[in-house]
Amino acid sequence: MTDQEKTRITVEIHKKMYTIIGTESPNHVQSIARLVDEKMYEIQKSNAYLDTTRLAVLTAVNTMNDYIKLKEDYETLLNLIEEERG
């Protein structure tokens, strides 16, 4: 991967600006940032006492939990498809 393939985009998450460098499109990065921002505010509604660091960690844990569940569901579906094909 070369530097020419990477893009740099600045996004706002939880009232702070972050510069993201990567190969994804700016629209994709903005969409992800928006989802992270929404999740942080969702968690903050029920845990108003959390500082930003704890809120970010809790958001990451919740997001990873969702990811693992989806991954397990995906693997289950793949196994069912393989069984059907016999």
For residue range 57-83, list pLDDT tens digits in order. Answer: 999 999 999 999 999 999 999 999 999
Determine the pLDDT at residue 86. Answer: 79
Do 58 and 41 meet the contact criterion of CB atoms below 8 Å apart?
no
State the pTM of this model: 0.82
For residue 13, give both structure tokens.
């998450």
Q: What is the DSSP secondary structure assignment for residue 5, as one 8-state letter?
A: G
Determine the pLDDT at residue 4. Answer: 67
pLDDT above 60: residue 2: no
pLDDT for 15-35, tens place per residue? Answer: 999 999 999 999 999 999 999
Helix axes 26-46, 52-85, angle to 10 degrees: 110
Total length of the chain = 86
- Neighbouring CB atoms inside 10 A of 26's CB total 13
Do 18 and 34 meet the contact criterion of CB atoms below 8 Å apart?
no
Determine the pLDDT at residue 5. Answer: 87
